Chains A and B, each alone.
Chain A
């Protein structure tokens, strides 16, 4: 028999990489990256740190979005995953049929999140593989614009949570990942414009 993992412990599998990724894309990410740069040489440069943080948050954001899509499917079956009487009850938020799909196309928010993070991942990953290509500049601008657009979606979803008086901790992790991705894309875009793109540190 496979032991069941508490949903809040399981959340850490997504939250911890998201926060590490967020830390790496911040200017203070150097503090974390420097001791690791001997074993992970790409963390020695600003560009490497930003791409690493961005890809890490992209993967974590994608994974947590897939998990929310899974939770909404499970709740629709009549099961529960993270129901709680406290304000932190993702089942109540993700399982609420009035709010768990987008108001225009009726697509589940988890699926939209997973798709969005895949796009961010593609932009970041392809740019990291060929950082001096001409198209990288456009990819970084597009990534910055898309993640900025994510803020409006986050605002809408937070307004739903306020209306329900419940917080979905899995959704919040995805929101943090979007903020981290915006910071990463924005700082990469600025670095690319600054002429320090190929500097060693």
Chain B
């Protein structure tokens, strides 16, 4: 009986098996030694970069670096790590103007200066954009006026100096070109994100409709009392 076989196919199969083995060994090493965290804007994902110049009340507009807030050694339950509450807003958005009072209150309550708050410090950051809506015509001067609550600029058809709440003492990033907003896939303003000290997003307003930022801070940010209770 004539036996037909293909020596060449065998060589190619042998080569393929060896090379594929090498490939899978590489992947297994990565899988065994790392736990990658994807970058994104949902809870559990690593916060994307925030780029642009920021204004913090003095010194003009300088380069913002969100990464400078992160502590890669932070462990869950460590109250010494500083959290970040990020607000995407538009100085001409009426709801943003109205919520400025809550933001003022939250920033004052959780920034570490409030003796009633026994939790980790929450640093507030605002990224000010200009939505593509008629009448939303913002500028750096308007952002400064909104933050500092000074007169002479119009915020949502009223003088910025008359907006509710106290002047804000936290940085405002210029996102008038909407770069950050698009990168973070923000659907509307105001949008809020609560970010852990290690740069992982803990909560976002878009994923938790009906829950406000204050509740999220009270529920998620590490408290010293919780540590004491657990000890």
Contact = CB atoms under 8 A, between A and B. Distances in A.
A79 B29 contact: no
Interface stretch (A34-42, A124-132, A148-156, A165-173): A124-132
A62 B48 CA distance: 29
Interface stretch (B9-17, B106-114, B139-147, B163-171): B9-17
Given A76-B38, A77-B34, A126-B11, A98 B23 contact: no
B226 interface: no
Interface stretch (A25-33, A64-72, A181-189, A190-198): A64-72
Contact of A98 (B8, B29, B49): B49
Best-surrounded residue of A59, A115, A122 (most CB of chain B within 10 A): A122
Given A76-B36, A118-B22, A70 B30 contact: yes
A73 B19 contact: no
Contacts of A73: 30, 34-36
B76 to A, nearest CB: 13
Nearest to A134: B8
Contacts of B2: none
B64 to A, nearest CB: 16
Most buried by A among B14, B18, B20, B26: B26
A72 B30 CA distance: 10
Contacts of A121: 19, 22
A78 to B, nearest CB: 4
A95 to B, nearest CB: 9
B208 interface: no
B199 A78 contact: yes
Contacts of B27: 66
A135 B22 contact: no
B37 A77 contact: yes
A70 B12 contact: no
A126 to B, nearest CB: 4
B48 A97 contact: yes
A contact face: mostly helix, strand, loop, or mixed: helix
Interface string A67-99: 001101110111110000000000000001110
A125 B49 contact: no
Contacts of A59: 22
Given A66-B26, A70-B29, A114-B26, A125 B18 contact: yes
B36 to A, nearest CB: 4
Interface residues of B, number: 32
Contact of B34 (A74, A80, A133): A74
B16 to A, nearest CB: 6
B173 to A, nearest CB: 17
B39 interface: yes
A133 B8 contact: yes
Given A62-B26, A73-B30, A97-B49, A125 B15 contact: yes
B65 to A, nearest CB: 12
Nearest to B7: A130
Contacts of B72: 77-80
Nearest to B36: A73
B37 A114 contact: no
A118 B11 contact: no
Contacts of B49: 96-98
B70 interface: yes
Nearest to A58: B19
Nearest to A111: B27
Interface string A100-138: 000000000000001100100110011001100111000
Interface of A: 59, 62-63, 66, 69-70, 72-74, 76-80, 96-98, 114-115, 118, 121-122, 125-126, 129-130, 133-135
8 contacts: A76-B38, A77-B34, A78-B46, A97-B39, A97-B48, A126-B12, A130-B12, A133-B11
